[in-house]
Structures are given as C-alpha cells and as structure tokens.
Structure 1
Amino acid sequence: MTKSHDVSVQDFNDEDSNVSSNPTFESVLNARLSRRNILRGSIGSMATAVLGTSVLSACGGGNDEPAPGPVPQFTPIEKLSFAAVAKSLEDKVTVPVGYTASVIYALGDPLRAATADYKNDGTDADFENRAGDHHDGMEWFGLGADGKASLTSVDRGLLAMNHEATTDEKLSSFFLHADGGKSTLPRPAAEVDKEVNIHGISVVEVKKAADGKWSYTKDSAFNFRLTPWSDVELSGPLRGHALAKTKYSPTAVKTRGTINNCGTGKSPWGSFLTGEENWVGYFARGAADDAARGDKSVVALKRYSSVQGGASRHGWETAGTEDKYQRFNNSKTGASADGSDDYRNELNTFGYIVEIDAYDKTKAAKKRSALGRFAHESAVFGKAEAGKPLAVYMGDDSRGEYIYKFVSEAVWDAADASPASRIAAGDKYLDKGKLYVAKFNADGKGQWIELAMSNTAIAAYAAYKFADQADICVNTRLAADAVGATKMDRPEWCSVNPKNGEVYYALTNNSARRVDATGSQVTVDSANPRAYSDVHKAKSSPQLGNSHGHILRLKEDAAGAAATGFSWDVYLFGAEADASTSNINLSNLTGDQDFSSPDGLAFSPSTGICWIQTDDGAYTDVTNCMMLAGLPGAVGDGAKKTLSYTKADGSKLDVDTYVGKAPAADTLKRFLVGSIACEITGLAETPDGKALFVNIQHPGETTAMANIANPSKYTSQWPSNAGYGAGKRPRSATIVITKNDGGRIGS
C-alpha cells in the first residue's frame, strides 16, 4: 500500500466510500474519544549490521545448479535467536548482527541485453523492458538445472513481483522525468508512456553464485513485464457479460493490463496471483456523466469512489486522442446502449485477483472475477486437502471495508499440484465457487455469509438491484453492504499459519474509527476495539482513530475450507511501547517489539515465522518503517479484555475484545528497519529458508518535486548510498537477506 505525501492530492489509499449502515460489530458502541499521554523514552543503541555495498552483476543462466534433492520440510523454530534491531531514522536498511542484506533488483534495471543500463537521471526510456516502480508483493518460483519448475531449487529461481505505483507530486511521477515532469493538464504523452509502463508486474530470474552472492539475470529468457497496456483475459462470471463490454473488447472477453498491484499469492498448482488495489484513482469521469448514464451504474461507481468530475491520479486520459489514453476516461461518450463504443464499463474490468504463469510468458494472464471486485490485497490459500474444496482468503484495503473468502466448487486433486497447464488449473478451481464475506460477533465467533442471488438480503436489496452472480462479483462491496458484513480497519495482507491453518489479517489502521461516530466514521467494536488520540511530532493535530492497527486471526470451524463459522481473536495490537496498556498497548509490546500500521504479512513455509511489515505514517516521528519476526500461538491462547470508554453524553461504554497471549522477548522481535520514507513490503524465500527477499518501496517519497535538481535535498538517496546503481535519485528495490553462517533466517 503506497501513501501519498502531497496533501493537496486525493490519497487513493485512504479511500472511504462505505456509507452503508452496516454494523461495525452489530452496531455495538459509541463512546467519547479516549486520550493518551505518552512520554517517549530514549532507546538504547545496539550493534546491528548495516546494508552495505552491493554490486549488480548481469549474468547468464548457467547449468551449475545442484542436483534436485528432497523438498525441504517445514521445521518450525521455537524461538528467535537474533538480537532485535533498534528503531532508526537513518537513511539505510538495517538487519541484525550476523546477517547480510544486498540490493539485487531496482527500478529501471534492464530485463534484456538490448536495453541500456539505468542512468537514473530522468532520461531513461524503454520501461516496458525494465523493472517497474514501487516493488510490492512478491513470490518465489524455483528453477531446476533443466530450466523447468522446481520445488527443490534453492540457488536459482524466478521472483514474480508487483510494481504498485509511482512516487508523485500532484500529477507527475517526478523522479522518472529529467525536470520532474509536467504537473498540469494536459499531460505529455512521452511522460505518460513512462508512467504507465512502470506499473504492473515483473518476472525476473535470480541466481546465487558460487561465492554465495545473489544477483538477477539481465538477459534471462524467463524475464518479462506485464503492464497496464498488456492484453489480459477476463474469466469467471464476468467473461462475456454486458458489464464488461468496451470499445476494446465489445464481446467482453478481455481488457488491457493490470494496475496498482499490491499483495500477492501462490496457488497450490504453482501460479502467481496478484491483487489490484487502488485502481479506481487512475480513471476519470466527466462532470456530467451521472446524468448521461442515468442508470444504476451511478450507484455502483460511487460505491467504488468513482465520482463524476473527479481528477484522476495522473491525468493519463489527457495525453492524446489515441485509444490507449482515452480508455482512462470512463465517461459515457458513445451512442450505444451497451457501452461497446466507449469506456463507460472499463472500471468493471479492474479490481480483481489476476492469475499469471510466472514460468511461461506466452500464457495469457486471467482476471478471476469469481473472487470478487474490490481493493484487493493478497489472495492466500488455506490448506489443500484431497477431496475437499479450496479456500482463498482476501481483504479489501479501504477504511470500513470487509474480509472475504472464496470456496472452490471443484475439490482438490493432488495431481493438479503439477498440472500440464497452470492457467487451466486456475480455470478449474477459481472460476466457479462460492464467495463469502465475514461478519464478526462480540462473543469471539463469526460467520461467513454467502454473496449469491439466493441470499434474500441481496435479491431484495433496495439500494442496488442485482441482476445475477456476475453483477455480485463486479459490485461485491454493495453485496457485502446488503448482508450486513462487519466494517474493518482496512484489511491489508492475509496469510495462513502453516502450523495450524489459522488465517491472519493485517488491519493496518483506520483514521475514521471513533467511539462517538458521525458521518462516514465507524464506531468501535469487539474486533476493532480501539479509538484513541496519538501524538506525532511532525503533525499539528493529534492522530485520531486506530492509528497503529492490529493483526486479527481466525480459526475455521470443523468443516475447514467450507466452514461458514469461525472463532477469532487479535494476535497483536500495534502500539508504541510506552502507550497505556489499558486501551492502546493491549499486547504489552516492548521497545524491541513495538510497531505501527501492519501491512505486509506472510508466514515462512520453512520456519513458521510470521513476518510483519509496516507502512506507517503514525510512528514515523520515531522510526522508519520496519519488519518484525513473530512466532504466534493459536486463537484463544490469550484472554478477554474489556476496554472502558466514556461517551460524549457522559455515559460509560465497555467493549470486550479478545487479545492473544502477550509475546515473549524471543517470540517477537524487530528484524529490519528501512531507509527514510520507505514502506517495507513484499516477501519471498527459498524453500530452505536461507535466503529472504524483501522489497523496499518508495524511499524518499517525501522529497519535494521542486528539489528534483538538488540531490542534497532528496529525503533519501537509497540505494545509491548503499553502493547500488547510477545516480542519486531514490529507487524502489529488492534486497536479499542471508545469514552469515549459512543458516535459516531467524533461527
């Protein structure tokens, strides 16, 4: 999730379009804002290893991989042995003593021999053949000595990763352009072409040399990009449906590209899943478009924050009359009844989980519409069991939005773990099934509510008349409104604990959470129980709501993937260590553990470590964003806790929540702190757990565009200040972390 630092521009990552009257836990609770009085103490220094010089090597694919051995087994570690990294505001990436971190793949790095090395001065071109920007979610795909998919390879593989967005001021992605670019309309086509092409995904080969150093392979035949201009097929209920007809695809079978990709997932059959998050902001509608449409599409558009006359994020629709630019104008401009002569339906082709075969760039990517349309983060599979359906868990990352689950109609066949076609396997498991939304109860239980025309709450919904299942899949938020789903504190990434199958959700924060809620605010409830005032040294007014976020987990009932009931509690509440333990620091975090705004979340399939990554605006007066390692227990290992509030009218309000066991010093520690103004996001590891790949996104995003010609005024110069690459403009990049003794990360 990328933040905007320009307050004059709409922050598309802080969308708040849910004006339904749904309960925030069965409408429990109004109360007066609690107040915190925090005295920050000094943090003792400790020895840490700082990210040092890393030299890019462009190497060809070799044949020196070890012979395939047995698939590495899941062997969970019992305690974290590294020394916790201290909080830091320095412009560097810091990891524990005994570990080494190296940059291997950054914005602009060429993916083919014919593309020039990146100059990083704003004059570079050919971005469809370079690494994109804002590296985000990422997955590992092993390559054997024969160049085929391998579950055992630990020295050579593919990294498939998202390129979420750009570092902007006003309209321009200013670090891409020599003079910072044009921040007024119309936008120049040459600038727009660059900006479009740095979005999407990349697949890049990486390899470990004999000396243990990792690098990416510049001219690998596996390398490729998928950008917002690439052909992508529509799949599931939306394919061929009237809601997806456009001038580009009058038969509604395809669209162009994928955009604002954030979280990821990896299917049991070995494909790459990427989620489209804040896609709506890239498109514009004319000032009179509501009247021109005159139908229920206006309701749907507003529910997804597409407002007539609203500015798009970059103004790409103004770059010229070519069709590739005009598709970003979603106004009704044509005379057709079905939208086949304009792009009024273009938004309906975005907001999905997209499936890609990382090993085969000739295979068309597919948008899996059966999984619903919203601000997708990751898509994570529950345990695959033969003869049982598969469950895919997802979250909608906007304030007051929902948590979802998809259950496949097909039951799992272990033979599909190595299918003849990975995309065909996706057709089997991801195009037909049941879509559910979560409702959390105040007793620590919850229900999955099916989103289908057979649900009378949907069929009879007064605010929007659903036509069929495709309509539900396109307008999933409206369907969830109709059934009374629980509004959550911005569901970010989710992950499944390999030890027990429980599902973890990062709820990053919610500035609209209140005790006495008004307007578009939402009230505190059991699963989102905190509303408080937090002080930030660089901000003139207190941060209100749940500014630090929390990590919720749930345990399915006995039916497993197909269960319609679950139990839940909160694994960790983000907080500053010196905050009150009565209503803020409910997990009793220490200075080695405290964090804010959990975002990226992934369990190691090797060690069972729960990696927690932050994208923070609330604690950045004290520390840059970070990554922590946790060893969780299980749902129910803690206790019920009651938060007491005083409402505006003076009455008392008690809110019960369920807090997991407080972490010990060796079960939760800070592992990494990033460079200035970055987000830590994206995580993949080799099957043996000995190489960990992490993305450092948008370092220096707080730089002012006016300072583009003066590197001394960049708020960050990473990774050039760590010895990587040309120029001094900050770049999003992938690092690889290894343990100096060759052991597993975290052990």
Structure 2
Amino acid sequence: MPPLLPFFTTSSSGSPCASGRSALTCRMRCGDACSHDEPNTSDNEYFGDVASTLSRRGLLRTGAVVSVAGIAAGASLGTAGAAAAAPATTAAGLGSRRPGRGEGDGRGLDFVPVEPNTLDALTAPPGYAQAVVMAWGDPLFKGVPAFDVDKQTPAAQRKQFGFNNDFLGLLPLGRGQHLMVVNHEYTTEQMMHRGYDAANPTRDQVEIGWAAHGLSVVVVEEERGTGNLRPVVGHRLNRRLHTQSEFELTGPVAGHALVRTKADPRGRTALGTLNNCGGGLTPWGTWLTAEENFNQYFANGSTVTDPTTLARLKRYGAANATTERKWERFDDRFDLAKEPNEINRFGWIVEVDPYDPTAAPKKRTALGRFKHEAAEPFITDDGRVAMYMGDDERFDYLYKFVSDGKVARGNDANARRRNRDLLDHGTLFVARFLGNSSQAEIDGTGALPSDGAFDGAGVWVPLVNGTTSYVKGMTAEEVLLFTRQAADVVGATKMDRPEDVQPHPRTGKVYVALTNNANRGAAGQAVADEANPRSANKHGHVLELSELGDDAAANAFTWNLLLVCGDPKDPNTYWGGFDPRRVSPISCPDNLAFDPDGNLWISTDGNALGSNDGLFAVPLEGSKRGQVKQFLTVPAGAETCGPWIDEDRVMVCVQHPGEKNGATVENPASQWPDGPGSIPRPGVVAVWPKRR
C-alpha cells in the first residue's frame, strides 16, 4: 500500500501560491499569477448582513428566494433585472432533465479508495487496469514520425498530439468509435528541449511551442475485452488546431475597432487559441473550449501610456514587460507596443465542430471575455441553453449566459447547422451571493455559523444582451471585451478562484469548484464571507447552487457549500454532513464531471496536503452524501485534468508530469509514462475494472 502522508505539510515547491504547485508550474501555466497583486481591486461589500436584513423583511427564507425583485432592490442591483427575466410561458425541457439510474447516492462507487501517496505512477484502486491512450508527440496522421525528443520540428508537432492536455471529452461516432477532443493548455519548454536556454529560445523551439498549444481531435476505437481506447491514426476527422490556425470571431464584438489588427483590419479572423483549460460539450454535438491565462503571452503592456487601456490591461494581468517564452521576438502580434488589439482577440469561449474538419472554430464573443476555466451547458425549461462559466483568478466571478433562441433538437449535422448562431445571441449575467448568516459569525476559520451550514441565496445580475448594455458607463461591446470591469461595476461577489462549473445532467443543480485563495482575508483584501468562509484558503471548497424553480433561466438561486476541503481531522472542514472519519482527504478541487449514476467526480490541481493530485468521487444524495472517495492519483509533479466517466471507463488527462523546480530534459523529475531512461510526456489515460 502506498505510504500515508502527513497532512498540512509546508510546501517546499518554492511556489508563492496556496497550493502544492511548483514555482515552475506557476511560471509556465499562468504567468506566475499568484506572485502578482490581484487584478481585482474593486471594493465589493459582503452581503451577509444585507441578506439578514432582507430575511427580516420576508424576502429571504430558508431554502427559497421569495421575491427576486425584492432582493435586487434591497441589494441595490440596478434596474436591468426585468429585461433579463425568463418568459412567462415554458415548454418541455428538451433534455433538461436527462434520465439516469440514480440520484448520486453512491451507487457505482464500490471501489477501495486509493491512499494519498507521492509515487511516480498513476495509482488506481485494486481490481482496475489502465493504459495510456495518447501522449505528447504521438502522431495523428499517417507519415508523421513517432515522437523523438531530439528530432522535433514545428511541421511534425503540428500533426502530433500537443503538450499538457487538459479538457477531455468523447463524442459518439458509432461502431465502437468516438471522437476524442482534447485541449493543450500550455508548454513547458525546459522539459521539451534538450539544452533549452530560457533567455534565448530559438525560432524552431518557439514554433514547436506554437504548434504544441491548441486542440486535438482524434478518432479512437474501443479495444475488445477492455475499457481501453486506441487512436485511429490517419482518420479523416483527425485534426490539430494550434497557434497559427484560423479562428472566426462571432457575435457582438466581431468587427469592433478594438479587435482589428494590421493583419486583420476587419477584426473577424484571429490566429490561434491560447491556454485552453477546461471545456464542455453541447447537446447539439459541438465542443466548447476555454481560453484562460492568455495574458501571459503578450509583452510590453508596461509601455502603454493611455490610462484607459492600461487599466484594462491591468485588470487582466497583462501589464508585463517581457514574457516567459519570448514569443514577441518572433511575431509582432505578441508585442502590445506594436499590436495593442491582439490581446483582445483572446479570452473567449471557442466552439468547435469536431465532425467537420473544414469548419473554422468560432470565438463566441457574446459569452464575455475573461480567464475562462470552462463552459458547461444546461437546457432551460423553455428550451434555451444556459452556459455556466468561472473566471479562474483570486477574487473573480461566476457567470451565466442564457441564449435568446431555443435549442434545435438532435446532435447531428442538421442540429449543428440549426444551432450554429445560438451562442451569438443572449444575456450574460454575473453572480451576486447573499449569505444568511451575519458577518460576525464568519470568522475566517471555516467554523460553521449557528444555523449549521454555509448557505444562502443569490441573484444573477444582467450585464449585457446583444447591443444593450446594463452596465452604467459601458457600451455593450465594452462589457463583452472587458467583462471583469463590468462585473466590478455591478458589485459581483469575489470568489476563491471559481474554476469548473458543472450542472448536474438530471437535477440541474450547479456545482462550482473553488480551488483556493491564499490572500482571502489578507491586509487590504476581501475578508471571508459565507460563500468563501476561510481566510488564507489553501484547500478550496465546492459550492452547490439550485436555480429558482429548478430552471436554468432563473434570475435567482439558493446555494450551500457541499465540501469545505482539507484534512478530515481538521474540525473546520465539512463533508456535506457526512462523517469526516470516513472520507478521503481532498485539496484544491479543479475540474468536475458526473458519472451515469449521478455522482460528482472532482479532479485536483496543486494538492496542498502533501500528496500527488488525484481524482475523487462523491455521492450527492442519500445517506452517503459527502462521502469523498479517492479513485486515483497521478504521477509525481502532475495535475489531474479531464476527467471523463462513462459506463466502461474512467479517463483523465495527466498534465505536466514531473513539472518540478529544476526539471529539464537532461534532469527529468518523472519517467511517466514510458519508464526508466525516458522524459515525462503528458498524456490521456483510461482506467477500467478488470474482468472478474
């Protein structure tokens, strides 16, 4: 059995962030965001006391919001709420409540939990087999060379599986085949090139990095008698999209002056997609991919003198001088002094049709621009689509987009054609949380208030619909381009790094992974509140949100904290009411997914308890609600991404294995997945129960 580890160990990673990430990961993944001041300097108040006042007025009661309009008025939310209200008539849900076998009561979770460990291996429960489906450098097309670290070329990498895979999804093809869609978030050049000089990268190294970013579409087929999937090299639907691929800007911002560049004076065709983190799959069969820490790729923001432009850059963390990868030396579009608008063409949700390798991916500007972690859909009661999105930065916000049009049924080519403009028209909202306990009861330790729960209500504050802005002093296009600043204006609630946001496919309840926030409660920063109840929050929490009337189009919601993560021995953790002596320790929740039985699965990023990151499952209903069980751990230095759970297998993306301080090609810190004498390669893994 792997060794048990002490909890609450002090990280030796040298990283300034709350988690167990290495400083190398911080630099390469997010531009060392945690070592810089938070971009959000707004002064949004805590609403626990406001909520108590509203409760006394009869507007907020246990488990329900009685008057959305009253809450909006009482909390001074502005006058735009009526414009965004759902229509009075409703129709059948078009799959908004998909059938399932269970309510997330623990059915299907009869595995033996994996113990915390620091092994350089993917560790699964007893009785399970595993295999690598695909890893960095594997060819997608015939005639492409097999991976060789010393024989890399930009041309080869454009046809090979990219680096640092993150989001993972499967779409059906039939006859045992699936379309596997994967994001490639970022590159770590020190671990990709022998003799890499970070101060002086070569053009080939930079162009390999351009090609290793982006997206992969790969046809995979089921392996008979196992849960493994094998790539079909050379399939006509295989596709690589990278930093030089053409993407179409759509929606209200397309063509705006602030997205026009010398190379694209019409402002409608962007090259590439950057830092793609989480994602989502739509009911009509397309793939949504999120552009997250795009700011780190753009140099010379510090040279900007116009105060409005500089404030916008700072709010997105882009007022830097040089960049880690030095791309600005090889392409002027990454130099803000030369191309000030190029950065505005990143930070969007991108929609890809994986069934059509000729279709240009579309950057959907109606969904707003920020550091998107993911976009996850749910069908409203009247047949529209709601998209839930988190902005992954300390003290940033939770968003929802609701389309104007209804979803055309099906997930075939005809449905994709009929829904092709659906995400270009709708209302973008930001969340404002109302706790039902007074501020005096939220002391920052994580101790429950007197009512025995962290819970309350909230409202979705409308920001923009089409060419109509609901934010004073900002045009509709400005709201979409600089969504963070718009949300500041309306007083959105500052959250502890909202990452993946997943609506339950049957119940419609929405689950939000709040990864951590070391600066909560620090001098000059927002104090703990009921939705973010711990100061110096290094372990994170998971929030459960129920829309008013169980309708994703609602303007208001109730919420509670399902998990307050950390060491179960700490009395200030919380496990949905379950006995903490019978749970696996979990730290830094990141990506979320559901299995066919309705259980929630959670992957972690930067475990601050001393163990490798892992994948966990938790029932949501019944006597086992809150019983967190660890299903796997990933190799040394890696992060658990994905994940994907179906009837036959569990899949994860093993991102940045061996990414530890000082790691290089010459001095690897992991030998996963190829074994002794090899360098680490990020990859996709399938795990399945052995035949008994």
Report the Cα distance in structure 2 between the residues aligned to 1:694 and 1:584, rounded to whole angstroms.
Answer: 24
Alignment check: 8 A CA contact 1:575 1:585 kept: no
Q: Match of 1:166?
A: 187
Identify the residue that residue 642 of structure 2 maps to in structure 1.
Answer: 682
Aligned residues: 600
**Aligned 8 A contact 1:118 1:124 in 2:** no
* Equivalent-residue separation in structure 2 for 1:590 and 1:298 (angstroms): 51
Matched residue type, 2:527: T
The structure 2 residue matched to 1:314, chosen from 308, 321, 325, is 325
Q: Distance in 1 between matches of 2:526 and 2:598?
A: 35
> Residue 306 of structure 1: CA displacement?
1.4
Deviation at 1:297, TM superposition (A): 2.0
1-structure distance, mates of 2:26, 2:484: 28
Asked whether 1:709 is paired with 2:657, we answer no
Counterpart of 1:376 in structure 2: which amino acid? H
CA distance in 1, matches of 2:263, 2:46: 41
- Opposite residue 433 of structure 1, the aligned amino acid is G
Q: Which residue of 2 aligns with 1:127?
A: 157
Equivalent residues in 2 for 1:58-69 (5 A)?
none
Deviation at 1:11, TM superposition (A): 1.0
1:199 alignment partner AA: H
| Structure 2 Cα separation of the partners of residues 302 and 355 of structure 1 | 27
The amino acid that maps onto 1:194 is: I
Match of 1:611 in 2: 601
Counterpart in the other structure of 1:522 = 526
Counterpart in 2 of 1:17?
Answer: 39
**Separation in 2, partners of 1:225, 1:678:** 24
So what's the TM-score if we normalise by structure 2? 0.82
- In 1: Cα distance, 2:582 partner to 2:118 partner: 15
Check conservation: 1:24, 1:488, Cα contact below 8 A: no
Report the CA distance shift for 1:609/1:124 in structure 2 as closer, same or farther (over 3 A).
farther
Higher helix share: 2
| Shift, 1:210, TM fit | 2.8
Tell me: CA distance 1:584–1:362, structure 2 relative to 1, closer, same or farther (3 Å).
closer
CA contact (8 A) 2:563 2:576 kept: no
Q: Is the 8 A contact 1:283 1:313 kept in 2?
A: no
Name the counterpart of 1:643: none
Give the deviation of 1:13 after TM superposition: 6.7
Are 1:389 and 1:407, in contact at CA under 8 Å, matched by a contact in 2? yes
* Aligned match of 1:569: 560
Q: Distance in 1 between matches of 2:512 and 2:163?
A: 26
Deviation at 1:388, TM superposition (A): 3.1
Superposed, which structure 2 residues align to 1:56-455 within 5 Å? 74-76=100-102, 78-79=105-106, 80-121=109-150, 123=152, 125=154, 126-145=156-175, 155-167=176-188, 173-179=189-195, 181-185=196-200, 187-212=201-226, 213-285=228-300, 287-290=302-305, 294=306, 296-307=308-319, 309-319=320-330, 325-331=331-337, 333=338, 343-383=339-379, 385=381, 387-414=382-409, 416-420=410-414, 422=416, 425-427=419-421, 429-443=422-436, 444-452=456-464
Contact 2:250 2:364 in 1 (8 A): yes
Q: 1:717 to 1:244 in 2, by over 3 A?
A: same
Partner AA of 2:161 in structure 1: A
TM superposition shift of 1:496? 1.3
- For the 8 Å contact 2:149–2:193, the answer to whether it is kept is no
Deviation (angstroms), 1:156: 1.3
* Counterpart check, 1:556 vs 2:547: yes
Q: CA deviation at 1:553?
A: 1.1
Q: Which sections of structure 1, spanning at least 5 residues, go unmatched?
A: 30-71, 146-154, 168-172, 320-324, 334-342, 532-544, 635-660, 743-747
Once structures 1 and 2 are overlaid, which stretch shifts more, 84-93 or 501-510?
Answer: 84-93
In structure 1, the partner of 2:86 is none
Aligned equivalents of 1:137, 1:108: Cα separation in 2: 18
- CA-based RMSD of the aligned residues comes to 2.7
Seen in structure 2, the aligned counterparts of structure 1 residues 691 and 729 have a Cα distance that, compared at 3 Å, is: same
* In structure 2, distance between residues paired with 1:285 and 1:376: 23
Provide closer, same or farther for how the CA distance between residues 583 and 500 of structure 1 changes in structure 2, counting only shifts above 3 A: closer
1:715, CA displacement in angstroms? Answer: 2.0
- CA distance in structure 2 between the partners assigned to 1:567 and 1:14 by the alignment: 34
Q: 1:594 to 1:25 in 2, by over 3 A?
A: farther
Give identity over the alignment, percent: 35
Closer, same or farther in 2 for the Cα pair 1:582/1:740, shift >3 Å? closer
**Structure 1 pair 582/608, CA: closer, same or farther in 2 (3 Å)?**
closer
Matched, 1:693 2:651: yes
SS at match of 2:360: coil
Q: Any conservation in 2 of the 1:274–1:378 contact (CA below 8 Å)?
A: yes
CA displacement, residues 2-32 of structure 1 (integer Å, 9 cap, x when unaligned): 9552399541477620000012546899xxx
1:583 shift after superposition: 8.7
Which secondary structure state, in structure 2, belongs to the residue aligned with residue 561 of structure 1?
coil
SS at match of 1:143: strand
Q: Secondary structure at the match of 2:379?
A: coil
Q: Distance in 1 between matches of 2:374 and 2:651?
A: 17
What TM-score comes out, normalization by structure 1 length?
Answer: 0.76
**TM-aligned CA deviation for residue 457 of structure 1:** 10
Cα distance change, pair 300–100 in 1 and its aligned pair in 2 (3 A): same
- The answer to whether the 8 Å contact 1:384/1:412 transfers is no
Q: Secondary structure at the match of 2:247?
A: strand
Structure 1 residues 399, 109: CA separation in 2 closer, same or farther (over 3 Å shift)? same
Residue 578 (str. 1) matches residue 569 (str. 2) = yes
Measured in 2, the distance between the counterparts of 1:257 and 1:562 equals 32
Correspondence for 1:60: none
Q: Distance in 2 between matches of 1:568 and 1:455?
A: 31
Classify 1:328/1:609 alpha carbon distance in 2 versus 1 (closer, same or farther; 3 Å): same
Where 2:419 maps in the other structure, the secondary structure is: helix
Q: Distance in 1 between matches of 2:212 and 2:402?
A: 34
CA distance in 1, matches of 2:561, 2:636: 30
Distance 1:358 1:685, change over 3 A: farther
Equivalent residue number for residue 469 of structure 1: 476
Q: Residues 291-344 of structure 1, C-alpha deviation per residue, up to 9 Å, x if partnerless? A: xxx25222211111111x52223111113xxxxx1111122x4xxxxxxxxx21
